Amino acid sequence: MTKMRITKWFYIAIALFGLILFASACSGDESTDEQEDTSSDDTTEETEEASGERTVTDAAGNEVTIPADPQNIIASYLEDYLVALDVTPAAQWSVQNGETVQGYLQDSLGDVPTVPYDLPLESVASFEPDLLLMDSAGMVEGNKYEQYSRIAPTYVVGEAQNNDWRDEFNRVAEVLGKQDEAEQVLEDYEQKVEETKSALKESIGDESIAAVWLTGGTFYVVNDQLSSGDVLYNDLEVTAPNVVKEIANNSEANWSEISLEKLAQLDADHIFLLNGDGEGADMLQDDIWQNIPAVENGNVYEYDSNDSSWLYTGPVANTQMLDDIKESLIE
């Protein structure tokens, strides 16, 4: 073989060896990138574990990093769940410049300052919260979510305006790391429901019950699927008057105004009256009210709407309703 041919093959061999080295290097880089990506994920998880923080997805699809042990929680209109879990919020829901609060919770929240129901940013920020729990997606519409998130981690509990209270309660418990406590609360509640249902059936049989709210000279009846209606007609399975069913079918509100014409047709055997107008209210002297079967027979059980739990929902509210029912119809 001539010298020229040897030289030619020498350079070809060098070129092939270089290609092999280059391919190996590229493969090594890809492997390194993958390792770096995996390492980054592992580092994030390790950091969260070390700090006690958790990243969860809320009902609106937001990824929220929950602090390890939040101390200043604002959960407007969700305070019932916090009280049930033995958690005291930094501020509590209110209307009318703080004059009206959820009266039935004041044994637990009597010393807690108020925050307006619509959660103005300045008011919220003044409490220096470390966690915000929002009742529904409607509370953070537009750019409100981003604005609240600048103040504190913001978790949306419910997708709609009216959500199943048990689902909401479990979500709140999960966020706060109190699932075991929530399980016990629900277990105790269901047991109380069964006991009350059995005793109520024995006491009044299939007689019907209505919950009526009087405020500002206007009567309202509860929806048969929401608030105290959920307790009466779903948990306790008592008979709902036809007028209550009819009004509920045409409304998504917890409480719907009932006209005097419909009030005259309210064939309830028993009425739980949430009186916001006080003793001697004019509407309670009206013939239409006086001619309702429950009123004629003296089967009206009156509670102050400012202090009772009948306008609300949650484990604390519903348990108090069961106590009211037991006191009025069973004992």
Per-10-residue mean pLDDT of the chain, 331 residues long, equals 41 43 46 49 52 91 96 97 98 95 98 97 98 95 96 93 91 97 98 98 97 97 96 98 94 94 97 94 95 97 96 97 97 70
Q: Encoding tokens for residue 146?
A: 């981003």
Question: pTM of the prediction?
Answer: 0.85
Intervals of CATH 3.40.50.1980 along the chain: 63-177, 182-330
- Is domain 63-177 in CATH 3.40.50.2300, yes or no? no
Return d(Cα 133, Cα 12) in angstroms, integer.
70
CA distances from 257 to 41, 207, 221, 278 (A): 55, 23, 7, 18
In degrees, rounded to 5, the angle at the alpha carbon of residue 318 between the alpha carbons of residues 314 and 321 is: 150
Distance of CA 137 to the CA centre of its chain: 11
Domain at 182-330, CATH class: alpha beta
Q: Which amino acid is at 264?
A: A
Of 227, 191, 236, 190, which Cα lies nearest the Cα of 209?
236
pLDDT of residue 49: 57
